[in-house]
Every structure is written in structure tokens, then in C-alpha cells.
Amino acid sequence: MVKKKKEAKFFKIRPETEKEHMALDVLYSLKNGQDPTSSAGGRNVSDYIDLCKDKGLLEGPGGGGEIAFKQGHKKILGIGFRDSQCFLTVIDLNGNILDKESIEIDLLLHGTGKNKDFTGVVRQVGEKTKFSGEDFACCGVAIPEAMIGINPKSVTIFSNGIKDIFGCDVFMTTSATAAGYGDRENLDSAKNKNILYMYSDVGTGVVLKGESIFEADEYNSGKDGEYLRPWNQFSIVNTTKDLAASGVGTDVVEMVKGDIDNITLDVVFQAAGNSDELAEDLIKRSGLALGVRVAYLVNMFDVDHVVFGGGIESDEEKFIQYVKESMNKFLSGEKIDELKMIPGVLGKESSSVGAALLCRREIFMEV
């Protein structure tokens, strides 16, 4: 008898019940060193906190009368992918990073998008990770949007494969959502702020206000998902690959030793830094286009910080300057003065860290 694979479970990005809203209020208070019994919108949260204590999530009051995350709770695993690498991050219930590793996964760049390619990626993770066999509370997996676009079944393949490796509940999300949450939680200047996170050169948007998350949703026609979707027509990487394949002269081809599949955002930024005209033109074109998006998203969602990630944070002096140049034409002078624009700090590890932190968020909503 063939064992039927289960459909993937996604993080519950939008809380639906009063209890779930209360859970996020408690989590938000704890992360900010506040008393959750008095800062959760005036609601009575005593019963919920008692349930959290029973499940080993919270402890206290101690000598100082404070409620805190329980020490010794099972560790949480986050997995993310970028270019040819898989990143794994282990955190505790406090959100502290306990351990991490990166694994080279060739099929991320060279796969054709068939089911066997994604199965092969999962197999490589299982064979190479040092964390196989560890007992985790749960695992969060951030899947690059491009993988889902090539083959929607990739989500289920990854979910079931990762569950087979680690034997715990697995929750899925996109790279942009996980990276945005991870970078926001690790940026002192953006922590607890209302932020617009712009992921990669295609500008996948994520808005974070407290524990509320608004994300791009390819399967939903709602306003939030529609306006936060990526502009794939401005992809620096895809355009560079297409032009290189058609024979347009660029140093990028030499940099990847003729293997166009190995062209990444970092490679194009490096070429632009070496005055490659094609790379410079594409970066300017994409940056100016993204600036228009940033301006209307800032106005729409009324945020006070814009954080850049997914690779574009590494070219702050050029790409982000083009974004600012274009954006400032569509914002009022007052908004320009107030708005903070900063690069993310986690780099390629951002989606794995964010996936782990989203697991903690999920754990509290499931109480």
C-alpha cells in the first residue's frame, strides 16, 4: 500500500480568532519586555497564559514577578534557500540563534523545475545536514517564489520531504515573508516599527505592523496580495540571462565561466561594480522602477520604515540610491523626511531565521 502524502501546512499569517489575536498580543508583549497581562488590548489573558505555562511555553512569575519564555523548551528549526545554498537555523523559544549551517545545493540553479529536481534538493538536505535526527518542536521552511512559480507541487514535495528528515510538524511560507520577518526582528532601528520589506530586485512586498503581516499572495485577488506581488518583468537576473543567451556582450558571462544558469544578483552587482555597461543599465532600470512601487506602497500602507533584502541590500550605494531617486518624486516632502530606508542585516540567512521565528509565532497561536 502506497502511503499518501499530506498536503503542506502554511503558517497562519492572518489570525482569524480572538484567541489567535490574543496569542500574538502576548507574544509581542513578551518580545518587548512588557507585561502581557496588561498590554494585550485590555483583554483578560490569564487563562491563555496559564495554558502556555501548562504547555511549557512560559514560566513565572519568578522572584521579580515577570512572565518569561520557558527555558529548556524544544529547539525550533528554520530552513531557507538562496542561489545555490540551503540555510538551516536553530533557535530557542527566546529567539536566540543556537546553531546554523549552510549546504550547497546544485539543483537550485540547474534544475528544470520537475518533481524529481525538488525531490533531489530535499534528498541533499537530508544527506548533508548535521541536524538530521535532532528533536525539534517544529520546522519552518521558506520556499523561493520562483520555485513555486515553476512548479506549485514543490511546496508539498518540500513539506513532506523535510518532515521525513526531521520528524516534526513543518510549516511553509515564501522567502520574502520569512526574510522580512527575520530582518525586522534583528534590526534594532526597525524592531517594533511599521515596515515595508522589499525583497529582491523584483520587489516582492511584505508589510509588518506589530505581529500583523501582509504579504504578496499569488492565489488571492484581495488588495493586499495584489499590490504586494513581485514585478517579475524588472528582474535583473532573468533579463541578464536572456540577453547573455542572445549574445549581448557582458562580462557577466565570463564571470560565470559561460554557465548562464549560475548568474545571480550578486554576480550582476559585482559586474556593475567593475563598470560593466549592461549590468549598470539593468540595475538602474530596475532600481528606478522599484522606487515607483515603494512610493505607492508607502502611501498605501502608511509605514515609517522601508527595509531592503533578498540580495538588493548588498548594493546599497547604487541600487538603493536609484530606488530613492525615483521614490522621492512620488512622496511628499514631509514623508520623505520621516521615512527611514535601511538594508536588512541577515543577508542570505534571512529567510531561514525568519522561518524559525515564524514557527515560534505559530506555536503561540496554536495554544
In Å, how far are 76, 303, 330, 331, 335 from 294, measured between CA atoms? 33, 11, 9, 10, 12
Please report whether residue 252 resides in a domain. no
Tell me the pLDDT tens digit for each residue of 326-339: 999 998 878 888 89
| Position 209 in a domain | yes
CATH code: domain of residue 292: 3.30.420.40
Beta bridge partners of 262: none
Could you tell me which of 107, 112, 114, 113 has the C-alpha nearest to residue 85?
107
- Tell me whether residue 100 is in a domain: yes
Write down the pLDDT at residue 224: 61
Beta strands in the chain (DSSP E): 9-10, 58-59, 68-69, 75-82, 85-91, 97-104, 136-143, 169-174, 195-199, 204-209, 212-215, 305-309, 340-343
Number of domains in the chain: 3
Helix, strand or coil for residue 366? coil
Same-domain check for residues 300 and 172: no
pLDDT at 42: 47
140 and 273 fall within a common domain = no
What DSSP state is assigned to residue 249? -
Residue ending a domain, among 69, 84, 118, is 69
pLDDT at 65: 62
* Residue 5 DSSP symbol: P
Q: Last residue of some domain: 17, 39, 69?
A: 69
Instruction: Give the residues of the chain that fall short of pLDDT 70.
Output: 1-5, 38-43, 62-65, 217-225
pTM, full prediction: 0.92
The predicted structure's pLDDT at residue 63? 46
Task: Please classify residue 101 by burial: count the beta carbons closer than 10 Å to its beta carbon, then call 0-12 exposed, 13-18 middle and 19+ buried.
Answer: middle
Full residue range of the structural domain in which residue 44 is found:
9-69
pLDDT of residue 249: 86
User: Do 217 and 197 share a structural domain?
Assistant: yes
Q: Is residue 183 part of a domain?
A: no
For residues 354 and 177, what is the distance between their CA atoms, to the nearest angstrom? 8
In whole angstroms, give the CA distance from residue 179 to residue 132: 23
Q: Are residues 167 and 277 in the same domain?
A: no
Contacts of 129 (CB under 8 A, 6+ apart): 88, 101, 103, 165
pLDDT tens digits, residue range 117-161? Answer: 999 999 999 999 999 989 999 999 999 988 888 899 999 999 999
Q: Which of 30, 51, 69 is the last residue of a domain?
A: 69
Angle, alpha carbons 359-22-66 (nearest 5°) = 85
